[in-house]
Amino acid sequence: MPELPDITVYIEALEARIRGARLERVRVVGPFLLRTATPPVQAVEGRAVKELRRIGKRIAIGLGGDLWLVLHLMIAGRLHWRERDVKLSPKRNLAAFDFTSGSLVLTEAGSQRRASLHVVEGEDGLRALDPGGLEVLDADFASFSAALTRENHTLKRALTDPRLFSGIGNAYSDEILHRARLSPVTLTQRLSREEIERLHIATRQTLTEWTDRLRAEAGGGFPEKVTAFREGMAVHGRYGKPCPQCGAKVQRIRYASSETNYCPRCQTSGKLLADRALSRLLKADWPRSTEEMESLIARHRA
């Protein structure tokens, strides 16, 4: 799922291409994409783009008459910049927004259609779509600490909760926790002040550095290689590969359709966190350390 760095770079690319341009036509192909009926989507046609905003992981395009198009790309949605009135294939194309300067095309990979489009009016309409999470890059330590410890969740859950923090998802939360050298399953209300300070610094540094990196990668062009798995990430998507800091093999906790990646040596004092599926299978044989895991693997291969 595109997160704060990806959405920021998308918005910067759109600023250069559609701010001041007139939206001539909206073509919705995906039957489940549009989630609102009032105002009708046709109401935005013929209006000029006045402003662009990020609302959590959403992209908000403000047009004349105080109308807003709000896009949520979810996991597999992506944006592409094409020539005006580009032809659409219903297989992956969900919508096209035809501006005087070109066409913005929304695609979604896979069979599940989770991306969404809302048409709303005014600030009240935008607020209704905003989960209200803290903007970490604008927040001081006190505000960050208060949001983090408001409820007693695991660090992974807290960082990815849009009601607590804005724009952070599965990928960058892994990178943040690795940089902070904190376990993803540590409970937020058990953290020391020093640990919260480390996390605050790591969060700001990780999001800023990756935004700068993605911006440089786009090089003024439209970002076409938006992915959750990037070369240069320390742990996310790197299960079984060496940690760039200590060389230990990156481990994971799998749940539903996603997973948490971490370094046991850097983040959990060498302890392996129980993977729900494997720990149920192995029960009492679940290894407590990376050394025990390696020994178990060796025995099964023998």
Please tell me the total number of residues recorded for the chain in this structure: 302
Quick one: pLDDT at residue 255?
78
pLDDT at 294 over 80: no
Over residues 157-171, the pLDDT tens digits come to 999 999 999 999 999
Sign of CA dihedral 17, 20, 24, 29: positive
Whether the Cβ atoms of residue 84 and residue 103 lie closer than 8 Å to each other: yes
Quick one: pLDDT at residue 214?
97
Quick one: pLDDT at residue 175?
98
How large a percentage of the chain has pLDDT more than 90? 83
Cβ within 8 Å of residue 8, ≥6 positions away: 54, 211, 214, 215
Quick one: pLDDT at residue 276?
56
pLDDT at 79 over 90: yes
* Of residues 293, 299, 290, the one with CA closest to residue 247: 290
Measure the CA–CA gap between 144 and 197, rounded to whole angstroms.
Answer: 9
Quick one: pLDDT at residue 274?
82
Q: How many CB atoms lie within 10 A of CB 37?
A: 8
- State mean pLDDT over 58-81: 97
How large a percentage of the chain has pLDDT more than 70? 90
DSSP three-state, residue 116 = strand
Quick one: pLDDT at residue 240?
95
Over residues 8-48, the pLDDT tens digits come to 999 999 999 999 999 999 999 988 999 999 999 999 999 99
CATH architecture of 138-218: Orthogonal Bundle (1.10)
Over residues 263-281, the pLDDT tens digits come to 999 999 999 998 755 444 4
Measure the CA–CA gap between 23 and 49, rounded to whole angstroms.
Answer: 7
Quick one: pLDDT at residue 283?
47
Measure the CA–CA gap between 41 and 301, rounded to whole angstroms.
Answer: 59
Radius of gyration of the chain (CA): 21
pLDDT at 293 over 80: no
In the chain, alpha helices (H):
4-18, 122-127, 141-148, 155-160, 170-180, 193-218, 264-267, 276-282, 290-301
pLDDT at 206 over 60: yes
pLDDT at 300 over 70: no
Measure the CA–CA gap between 195 and 180, rounded to whole angstroms.
Answer: 8
- State mean pLDDT over 57-84: 97
Over residues 86-124, the pLDDT tens digits come to 999 878 899 999 999 999 999 998 877 899 999 999 999
Whether the Cβ atoms of residue 140 and residue 169 lie closer than 8 Å to each other: no
DSSP state of 35: -
DSSP state of 245: T
* Of residues 21, 25, 38, the one with CA closest to residue 121: 38
* Of residues 236, 56, 58, 74, the one with CA closest to residue 156: 236
pTM score, whole prediction: 0.90
Write down the domain spans for the chain: 4-127, 138-218, 251-301
* Of residues 38, 63, 59, the one with CA closest to residue 50: 63
CATH class of 4-127: alpha beta
Quick one: pLDDT at residue 111?
75
Over residues 219-261, the pLDDT tens digits come to 999 999 899 899 999 999 999 999 999 999 999 998 766 799 9
Measure the CA–CA gap between 95 and 98, rounded to whole angstroms.
Answer: 10
